[in-house]
A = this chain, B = another copy of it.
Amino acid sequence: MEIKPIAYFRSPFATKFGVPRQSGVVAELHGSIVFADDFRQPEALRGLDGYDYLWLIWGFSENVGAKKRPTVRPPLLGGNERVGVWATRSPFRPNNLGLSAVRLVGVDAERMTIEVAGADLMDGTPVYDIKPYLPYADSYPGVRAGFTEQKSWHRLEVVFSDESERLLAAEDRAVLKAVLEQDPRPHYHDSADRLYGMPFMGYDVQFRVDGDVLKVETVKRIC
């Protein structure tokens, strides 16, 4: 079946580096759904403002050509243990489809954009469907969740250099802090010397991690 993007996601993340590992994990993170030309129909949004959450079905567009295996190595398990792909939310999966529940912040029918929060999509991600979240059919709190139950992400303490603190508005700093607390490093990295660069909100954010402390060294405008 051929599917085509109905919209594209605009996110503070220019690359996948730093994107939260699931939707909802960084609730402060705002982004927008911008409808594609063929779908700029304001009447298609009628009634959307009656919902608190939306489902997005989207594409892991970077992985379309990647080789897919029947098992994957979830970062949460340290990257060594193999689990069946259907038992994970891995981006390396047949059909390259992603699924995320996002909080609805606002609908702008004139501009044909929807502002949402808590998304785990990088900038430019194609969106194939938007559905309202129906708690009576979609919400199952407390059910068993496989290997994600036994392990949880270790949070880092985030500190800012004086320079980076001065350059970032307080609100942007709070969002960046929430993102960095999740530890965006690849799981096999653990070197205090290494300087990481993450494009975020139009900045190149440079940081180092020593033990449990992540220090933002510099932020440079890149656009």
Contact = CB atoms under 8 A, between A and B. Distances in A.
Nearest to A77: B47
Given A51-B87, A84-B45, A99-B55, A138 B138 contact: yes
Interface stretch (A17-25, A158-166, A183-191, A200-208): A17-25
Contact of A97 (B52, B126, B128, B132): B128
Interface stretch (A88-96, A174-182, A215-223): A88-96
A59 interface: yes
B44 A84 contact: yes
A86 B1 contact: no
Q: How large is the interface on A (under 10, 10 to 19, 20 to 34, 35 or more residues)?
A: 35 or more
A93 B5 CA distance: 13
Taking the full assembly, how many copies of this chain does it contain? 2
Contact of A148 (B83, B134, B140): B134
Given A41-B70, A87-B51, A131 B99 contact: yes
Given A23-B137, A133-B143, 5 more contacts: A6-B95, A39-B94, A44-B84, A48-B146, A50-B87
Interface of A: 1-4, 6, 22-25, 39, 41, 43-48, 50-53, 55, 57, 59, 64, 70-71, 82-89, 93-97, 99-101, 126, 128-149
